Amino acid sequence: MKDQLLTTEQAAEALGVKPQTLRQARSMRKWMHLPVVEHKNKLGKTQIRYRLSDIEDFLRLLVDSER
């Protein structure tokens, strides 16, 4: 099964942060362990997406680092 791709808004909701927080973290390269996928839409415009499995892995990493 192909991994689900999430928009910034969907990924932010899954992470429990505001979309703007996620955008800032991405632009400042704060969360290097959360890879992004550059996805081209039908018009050829690049859109940022996040893999659901990457978000789950990132959350596990955060939980493990707090132990």
- Provide the CATH number for the domain around residue 13: 1.10.1660
How many domains are there within the chain? 1
**Could you read off the pLDDT tens digit of each residue along the chain, which spans 67 residues?**
468 999 999 999 999 999 999 999 998 888 878 899 998 889 999 999 999 999 999 999 888 877 7
Rg (CA), the chain: 12
**Residue 43, domain extent:** 5-65
Please give the pLDDT value at position 2.
Answer: 61
Please give the pLDDT value at position 54.
Answer: 94
pTM (2 d.p.):
0.82
CB 55 within 8 A of CB 48: no
